[in-house]
Amino acid sequence: MIIVAGSLRLEPADRDRYLAAVADVARQAREADGCLDFVQAADPIDPERINIFERWESDAALERFRTSGDPGAPEPDLPDVLSAEVRRYRVAAVESP
């Protein structure tokens, strides 16, 4: 299992516009084969932060999704991301808490 997790930082005034612009990406990811979860959400405490969480069955499923878009499609009009700290984690075992 693969987990992609972290956060993005944007100007507070741009956060909602960013999330609206990427909402279709979340819908597409959740419908993709091998996607177990996909969330991009406003942090409830920090107005500059967007939390990222993705859970995939495998590296192959994640890469299939990331390369599945139409290369001729226009890029969404996104506000500038000030910084990003997002990492990929490889999970060897899953247990109940």
Q: What is the pLDDT of residue 68?
A: 87
15-29: pLDDT as tens digits = 999 999 999 999 999
Q: Which residue has the tokens 């299939």?
A: 64
Q: 67-84 burial by CB neighbour count: b if 16+ within 10 A, else e?
A: eeeeeeeeeeeeeeeeee
Residue 79, Ramachandran bin (φ over 0: left; ψ between -120 and 50: alpha; else beta): beta
**Domains in the chain, start-ordered, CATH in brackets?**
2-90 (3.30.70.100)
Return the percentage of the chain with pLDDT > 70, whole number: 99
Q: Is the pTM of this model over 0.85?
A: yes
Chain centroid to CA 61:
14
Average pLDDT rounded to a whole number, residues 26-46? 97
53-84: pLDDT as tens digits = 999 999 999 999 999 876 777 777 899 999 99
Please check whether residue 6 is in contact with residue 54, taking contact to mean a CB–CB distance below 8 angstroms: no
